[in-house]
A and B are shown apart, each in its own frame.
Chain A
């Protein structure tokens, strides 16, 4: 075996790992919707919602409660990431990256703005207003935003085959949630704020992916993602939660009440699934590109609906089966692409 063959073999292994990370991301992201949905009915969030709704109305109560849940989600994610980085022995690298703000950290702090207050908050709002299954599939448009930005900004290559795969996955997502939306339109009772939350998730995660792709040129994904969540924790716990408390909302009272065993356990499982799905998402970007990583990661919509059916017992509809088939077709279109064209992920 000569040097060229070894190089090709090494490249194939990297691409295989890239797709594997994106698939891990999809499964863990799908699982996140289980704790992400049930946490809403637990105290103190249930009583917090009731207290704010009595004074400021249901919509405001839902958004403010979503802020506190998202803040706790960010907190448990960073704990999960500390375990991840500890097991991989990356604390030294984390310190080095954190010190290099201008070339490295700034990208991850910027990503945290679009990922946290836009995407994750939007997703929790969609879960609260419409439901877990909707929130999961509403964000399926995000690879379009991500891959277009990555392509225009730093010339990431998107092959025709990859574009076709992403297109199939997006069509699948629309078919999955289209049925629910149509029936709600029929009854005239459409929770528009929830749908706005879904749109926030799609745009926010798309922009975050493109920014992360830029940051990962100069930093390591496990560490970069931890810094991104450090930024998100600063946004929630140092800026948003205190500002809302000053505005008169009972943030501190309910934040302290959240330290209840069942609530904490559900939040910790949300942290594990979300932290690990995010880190595998970031790990896939340098190996297969932002467009492909997001495209395969997009299978989370299918996994979320399947897990919700299995664990919550909702009966599958024909739209789910058809949408799922589209998602699988899109993924296999991308999986089966000849990887020799991916040796360089960027244009010349």
Chain B
């Protein structure tokens, strides 16, 4: 199913008032950074304990 114009309008509407630049992409970048950081710490934890 392709997104309708109304659905895309609602979706884009969420990011339009953001205080951050390119918020529609930035939220995914932030999630990836935090997730990779957690995974790296988990690897460190496994090697220490």
Contacts and interface: CB of A to CB of B under 8 A. Distances in A.
A41 B23 contact: no
Nearest to B39: A87
Interface residues of A, number: 43
B1 A312 contact: no
Most chain A CB within a 10 A radius of its CB, from B2, B20, B38, B39: B38
Contact of A312 (B10, B14, B30): B14
Chain B binding surface, main DSSP class: helix
B35 A28 contact: yes
B19 A313 contact: yes
A273 B11 contact: no
Interface string B2-42: 11101100110011111110010011101110110111011
Contact of B38 (A13, A24, A307, A311): A24
Interface in A33-65: 34-35, 37-38, 41-44, 46-47
Given A28-B35, A310-B20, A87 B3 contact: no
Contact of A272 (B16, B18, B19, B35): B35
Interface of B: 1-4, 6-7, 10-11, 14-20, 23, 26-28, 30-32, 34-35, 37-39, 41-43, 45-46, 48-49
21 contacts: A17-B49, A24-B38, A28-B35, A31-B30, A34-B31, A38-B14, A41-B7, A43-B4, A47-B1, A87-B43, A89-B46, A262-B11, A269-B27, A273-B31, A276-B39, A279-B42, A310-B19, A311-B20, A311-B27, A313-B16, A314-B17
Interface of A: 13-14, 17, 20, 24, 27-28, 31, 34-35, 37-38, 41-44, 46-47, 84, 87-89, 222, 257-258, 260, 262-263, 265, 269, 272-273, 276, 279-280, 283, 307, 309-314
